[in-house]
Structure 1
Amino acid sequence: MTDNLEELFPVVNEDGVTTGKITRKEAHSGTRILHPVVHLHLFNSKGELYLQRRPLWKDIQPGKWDTACGGHMAYGETPEEALRREVSEELGITDFEPEFLGKYVFDSKRERELVYVNKAVYDGKVNPSDDELDGGRFWTEEELREAMGKNILTPNFEQEYKAFFPCR
């Protein structure tokens, strides 16, 4: 399996206003053109955090553990629509109530993303997509602290977790 390199993403400014469009291939080729993504941090009522394992075929951070759900906004889609679509596709969940936490620019050597960060508490069944993920599980706070900085988690997840959940 591979990502659709011709999929169209919006180009945005740091306020999230669409200024154009770009293909996935262009967005991930080192152009560092700002494009939006949505993230969901999925907690259960015990305070454990669900993480997905990125498949080895992914072009960005293959094989690492990452935010429960993360995905690109399609051209013409709102952040809310993208979040609901991505969570349904990746985790098989449709009955959740997201809480928007904020947005920030993630900047790497390869790409720039405007990340819309959300969280939800959910105790139902999680059905990770066999097509998009290499599984997933809930992690305790202690397990997360132990994995930080050891090349197990994506750098984006580590940065975001520390910024949005500093008191955990």
Structure 2
Amino acid sequence: MKKDNSNECFPHVDESGNVIGRISRGEAHNGSKLLHQVVHLHVFNRSKGLYLQKRPEWKDIQPGKWDTACGGHVDYGETIDEALRREVSEELGIKQFTPVFIKSYVFESLVEKELVNVFCTIYDEPIHPSTEELDGGRYWSVNEIVENIGNSVFTPNFENEFAKVLQKGLIFDKLDIK
């Protein structure tokens, strides 16, 4: 079974995203609450809805739950754009897309604290989820998502982001989706 590399290095950042140090994945997820950056991409298909990924059971955080189409850590020395494009390519097989920045916010769970950089895109081509990184994915309608909120189907981070960003229309306004 695959396992996350606890020795991977991430930038330790302040709430503005300024790098103030270097931490390992293990330190980022051990309850220390050392702030580190992640990227999220919400992928909309005009006719199918919002694409979500299924997290594999081997993940150290929220295994087996449905989550943002693409999400991942920013590696030490990497820019936000580089991390976003690397993660989208690795997880979804998408090479060409136009990311639209939505917002950044701090998310805190029992074991970690992340500075989340949220992006969205419209993508009407086939998605090829990684069989090594994910347990698949599928499109969800907004109604399906709303019906499953609070039922342990989604990661708490996705539910939080859905309430803060998606339901408030921030993405729909920026992408001009009705």
Q: TM-score, normalised by structure 2?
A: 0.92
Which string of whole-angstrom CA distances, capped at 9 and with x for unpartnered residues, describes residues 96-117 of structure 1?
A: 1000001000011100000000
Matched, 1:155 2:156: yes
Residue number in structure 1 paired with 2:111:
110
Residue number in structure 2 paired with 1:140:
141
Residue number in structure 2 paired with 1:129:
130
Aligned residues: 168
Unaligned runs of 5+ in 2: 170-178
Residue number in structure 2 paired with 1:57:
58
Cα RMSD (Å): 0.9
* Residue pairs, 1:47-126, within 5 angstroms: 48-126=49-127
Distance 2:30 2:82 in 1: 26
Distance 2:38 2:54 in 1: 18
What is the one-letter code of the residue matched to 1:80? Answer: D
Shift of 1:47: 6.0
What is the one-letter code of the residue matched to 2:151? Answer: K
Contact 2:48 2:140 in 1 (8 A): no
**What secondary structure does 1:32 align onto?**
coil
Distance 2:27 2:18 in 1: 19
Distance 2:47 2:35 in 1: 36
**What secondary structure does 2:41 align onto?**
strand
Shift of 1:167: 4.5
Distance 1:127 1:64 in 2: 19
Residue number in structure 1 paired with 2:22:
21
**What secondary structure does 2:158 align onto?**
helix
Q: TM-score, normalised by structure 1?
A: 0.98
Distance 1:124 1:157 in 2: 23
**What secondary structure does 2:167 align onto?**
coil
Distance 1:104 1:66 in 2: 17
**What secondary structure does 1:88 align onto?**
helix
Shift of 1:46: 2.4
Distance 1:157 1:14 in 2: 20
Unaligned runs of 5+ in 1: none
What is the one-letter code of the residue matched to 1:141? Answer: V
What is the one-letter code of the residue matched to 1:161? Answer: F
Shift of 1:161: 1.1
Contact 2:33 2:112 in 1 (8 A): yes
